[in-house]
Structure 1
Amino acid sequence: MLDTLILTVHILTASFWIGGMLFMVLALSPYVRKLPEDLSVKSYQEVGRRYSFWGTVIGLPLLFLTGLYNMNVMGVTWEDFFNFANDYAATLHHKVHLFLLTVILASIHDFYIGPRSHINRKFRITARIIGILNLILGIFIIYLAAKLRYGG
């Protein structure tokens, strides 16, 4: 029962993380770009702050912890993980490395570039590029998760 609960939390948190990024790209951005610049900047800043708290500060550590637990449930040892002992461990290894890259990019985006995106065009474009890159990485991580479901 606990294993299922923790896997559910992991999937819900991943859904929130990716869903939030998709919402930003597909729904919020097209709408906010049509607003006057001062309101556009204010809207992005406010939504970004809120999403950063729930997505990055709460969500990413929760994904990491529940992921470690799930790794243990699946019987992958640290030795397996670092030695690519089987297809499952190898895919998991790649998934974790992409996740760590996502954490780094999200931290740079959410705590440095994003809050400064109102300063100039360079920050705005950099924030957009990092955000889209993180979305692509997140989608690929979900692909690897699906691959794990079928044995790696």
Structure 2
Amino acid sequence: MIDIIVLTIHIIAASFWVGGMLFMVLALSPYVRKLPEDIKIKSYQEVGKNYSLWGTVIGLPVLFITGLYNMHVMGVSWEDFFNFSNDYASTLHHKVHLFFLTVILAVIHDFYIGPRSHINKKFRISARIIGVINLVLGISILFLAAKLRYGG
């Protein structure tokens, strides 16, 4: 039963992470762009701060911890993971590498570039590019997760 609960928590955290990014790109940004500049800046800063707390500070560590647990449940040893001993371990290896890249980009985006995006166009464009890259990485990770469901 604990295995199912941990997997459910993992899926909820992944849904929140990628779903939150999709919400920002598809729903929030088109709306906020129509607002006056001062309200636009404040809106992005407030939503970004809240999403960073839940998505980056809480969500990504939860994904990592539950992912490690799920790896153990699926019977993937550290030796399998690092030696690409089977398709499952190989796909998991790629998924974890993309996850760590996502973490690095999220930290840079959420705690350095994003909070400065109101300063100038360079920060604003950088924040948007890193956000889109992280969304693509998140969707790629979900693809690899689906691939793992079918054996890697």
User: What is the identity, as a one-letter code, of the residue corresponding to 1:108?
Assistant: I
Q: CA deviation at 1:116?
A: 0.2
CA RMSD of aligned residues (A): 0.2
Deviations 1:71-116 (A, max 9, x none): 0000000000000000000000000000000000000000000000
Distance in 2 (CA, whole Å) between partners of 1:148 and 1:121 is 40
Distance in 2 (CA, whole Å) between partners of 1:123 and 1:32 is 18
Q: CA deviation at 1:63?
A: 0.0
1:88 maps onto 2:101 in alignment: no
Give the aligned length: 152
In structure 2, the residue corresponding to 1:118 is in which secondary structure?
A: coil
Partner of 2:125: 125
Unaligned 5+ segments in structure 2 are: none
Deviations 1:9-31 (A, max 9, x none): 00000000000000000000000
User: What is the identity, as a one-letter code, of the residue corresponding to 1:68?
Assistant: L
Partner of 1:6: 6
Distance in 1 (CA, whole Å) between partners of 2:44 and 2:23 is 12
Partner of 2:139: 139
Q: TM-score if structure 2 supplies the norm length?
A: 1.00
Deviations 1:18-67 (A, max 9, x none): 00000000000000000001100000000000000000000000000000
Partner of 1:69: 69
User: What is the identity, as a one-letter code, of the residue corresponding to 1:127?
Assistant: A
Q: TM-score if structure 1 supplies the norm length?
A: 1.00
Percent pairwise identity: 80
Distance in 2 (CA, whole Å) between partners of 1:24 and 1:122 is 20
Q: Deviation above 2 Å: which 4+ runs of structure 1?
A: none
Partner of 1:27: 27
